[in-house]
Amino acid sequence: MSVHRVYELMTADIVAVPKETTLSEAVERLADKNISSMVITEGNIPVGIITERDIARIAAMEHGINEIAVSEFMSKNPVAIYKNADIISALDTMERNRIRRLVVTDRKGRLRGIITYSDII
């Protein structure tokens, strides 16, 4: 029995936006693509992640989302995993960090995709 690798189950066609993107643009992209999270990048390096839950929290604060950059509210330093890591390592990393998604990177730390708990199970 072989163990699957992260790249075999990850979603490679993800929505990523530069850290300067406004919250209103991010909300629009989440809705248009019917997704629950997006990776925030600087170049092609993941620097954060923002989720529907983050957006709901921000909306409750009544900030002007047209002027605020996603980088002000993103979860910084997203937990990442190398694309060739095994799925057991991915699950262990999610469990240790109490999260349900991991940013997938190549050896140079460049964004390659995202893998969620649902992708694995």
Q: Could you say which architecture CATH assigns to the domain 6-120? A: Roll (3.10)
* Beta strand segments in 52-117, E: 75-76, 80-82, 101-105, 111-116
Identify the CA nearest to 101 among candidates 74, 73, 120.
120
Average pLDDT over residues 42-58: 89
Element containing residue 90 per DSSP (H, E):
helix 87-97
Residue 9 structure tokens: 């189950």
**Strands, sheet with 45-51, edge to edge from the N-terminal-most edge strand:** 16-18, 37-42, 45-51, 75-76
Residue 79 confidence (pLDDT): 97
Residue 120 confidence (pLDDT): 92
Domain locations in the chain?
6-120
Average pLDDT over residues 69-98: 94
Q: Is-contact 114 38, C-beta < 8 A?
A: no
pLDDT at 73 over 90: no
- In angstroms, the CA 70 to CA 117 distance is 24
pLDDT at 118 over 70: yes
* Residue 119, CB-side half-sphere exposure with 13 Å CA sphere: 23
Residue 57 confidence (pLDDT): 79
92: confidence class by pLDDT, cuts 50, 70, 90: very high
Q: Is-contact 12 113, C-beta < 8 A?
A: yes
